[in-house]
Amino acid sequence: MATELTNEGDTFAIGGEETVHRLGFGAMRLTGEDIIGPPEDEDAASDVIRRAVELGIDFIDTADSYGPGVSERLLGEALSEDDDVFVASKAGLLRHRDGEWTPHGDPEYLHNQALASLDRLRTDSIDLYQFHRPDPDTDFEESVQAFAEMKDAGQIEHVGLSNVTVEELETAMDIVDIATVQNQYNIGNREDEAVLEACEEKGVGFIPWGPMYTVDDEGVAGVLDDVGARHDATRRQIALAWLLDHSDVMLPIPGTSSVEHLEENVAATQIDLFDEDRAALDGIDPQ
């Protein structure tokens, strides 16, 4: 009998309160080409969201800059309170039609973006709102204070950070409780291992963006294929399985605009790595 496909990942309590499956879904790719404008087929994008919920994904990550605004809007239209999905969004990074991502951490702007996010997501309070990237032209503590004020006002339930150092995490935690950190991290790029370790020590969720970015790299792909052969799995599935196995605070959010790829990602939660697998995968020399 075939095993029913469902999200079998372990759970994590975000902020010590909201329990979600550790394998989530990143909604950035539901937008148009280059993360600008709407997708060619909005119904297809909605189908991906609905299928994610059916598969047991209860943690979805987006941002005001994805589209901009498009990803949040699509989620607001496709999800309902009955779905019981924990939605995380972000503010503090602008997306331009020329392809640039520009930090913008001005507190007044962040407050304004929160209002726009609330409207697009069709909610009275955002489950998790993350400071997308520190702005070199704005005092970091002032930006974080804006998120603390949003939390006090009941506009957001939990505060998260993205693209930060250990020092910035510690600074922010002196201002407001930090539930999650979202930094680039994957099997071939572990530059922020120290940030992950700090999150483990503090009980903060770690959301690795770009979880698949290095799966085709030299020195990585071959090892993933070797391990995958033992599990009848793709290199991308093994990369996800490794992330889930690597740390109990890890919350991968692989994104896709394809139901097929979504189902492939969820199937990775059914992979149990062997000791020899861990040794091989841990032994990859990150670039």
Question: Which of the residues 66, 109, 185, 213 is marked catalytic?
Answer: 66
Residue whose structure tokens are 């039609």 = 97
The pLDDT value recorded for residue 2 is 41
Does a cis peptide bond (omega within 30 degrees of 0) precede residue 211? no
The pLDDT value recorded for residue 3 is 57
> Closest by alpha carbon to 286, among 183, 169, 159, 193?
193
The pLDDT value recorded for residue 9 is 87
> Closest by alpha carbon to 252, among 85, 59, 67, 75?
59
Tokens of 12: 């994590």
The pLDDT value recorded for residue 1 is 30
Active site residue 109: no
Determine the distance from the C-alpha atom of residue 217 to the mean position of all C-alpha atoms in its chain, rounded to a whole number.
Answer: 22
CB half-sphere exposure, 247, CA atoms < 13 A? 24
In the chain the domains, ranked by start, together with CATH numbers, are 11-282 (3.20.20.100)
Please work out, in degrees rounded to the nearest 5, the angle formed at the alpha carbon of residue 111 by the alpha carbons of 108 and 112.
85
Rounded to two decimals, the pTM is: 0.96
Contact 124, 97 (CB under 8 A): no
Radius of gyration for the chain, computed over Cα atoms and rounded to the nearest angstrom: 18
Taking only the tens of pLDDT, the chain with its 287 residues reads 345 899 998 999 999 999 999 999 999 999 999 999 999 999 999 999 999 999 999 999 999 999 999 999 999 999 998 999 999 999 999 998 888 999 999 999 999 999 999 999 999 999 999 999 999 999 999 999 999 999 999 999 999 999 999 999 999 999 999 999 999 999 999 999 999 999 999 999 999 999 999 999 999 999 999 999 999 999 999 999 999 999 999 999 999 999 999 999 999 999 999 999 999 999 998 76
Task: State the DSSP string of 31-49.
Answer: SSGGGBS--S-HHHHHHHH
